[in-house]
Structure 1
């Protein structure tokens, strides 16, 4: 679905859903929108059951016991100018970056008191398309694989993990990232 202002198409919005996890996918670029790519949708779809399991079950956050029945998260794909602007505004860093995360809950992983009505909105993950393309080339992986890696990284940030606060936290987050990526990779090989 296109969101239009006047006669101008400004972004594409789609939903990818698996059981109780819904990913709202937004592509703000007017040229070469990624959300139309079937391979990207397949890769993103493989993430959702892994994310759902991590959020709901005891081996992850165990939020099913808090009454969480549905999970929502937004992924926005944007250009370099937009990510740089957001990075400057929210992190005081005047440069482009690969991924930014905006959690709804500050301490979700710490078990903050959740006042939920069954639906848990995790927040927003924003990925810069140009940086993802560059990094995919540097790491010699496909674009969809790099996009999934950045999404997993952002997903952990919206849950409250932060590799910038300490070396111990960086290790925890890196280990979780690797574990989630392996599970997603297995799903893609089916």
Structure 2
């Protein structure tokens, strides 16, 4: 996994993570148009990265309209996830907010075959979860404990097992339609 990390101006000790990327994601495609990134990309666990030169992207967009549409779709996917993160941050309490992130990452990983039943790997430390969700590490620890105590997840290290998918989705107010997984496959 990788993530977008923004340093808080004037505070070198604080960063805000604004996106998480999984295997197969085209990270920072918008940089092709803006010609620069306003954030860092950091690895969360073992990562493998491939770089594509802007000249090559220009050639692809000129010669292959279908691939251009797929690249555009990838940027709209990123935007939809970002919007949903904003809504979740504004409308959900910490346990539900964390549950929403778990549901989203599980769904995205399931779509690429990176889950085993209702189990998946989440190589993110609680400190990093705090940066993603905008809480303190203590708050995240309590939210994880709450999800466990409710019998919704088993969470050991980086391994998460969802014990009650329907109830986890209900708590998170999770509707996977914004992920448009079927459009990314076709």
Higher relative contact order (CA closer than 8 Å, sequence separation 6+): 2
Rg larger in structure: 2
User: TM-score, normalised to structure 2's length?
Assistant: 0.28
Bigger fraction of residues in strand: 1
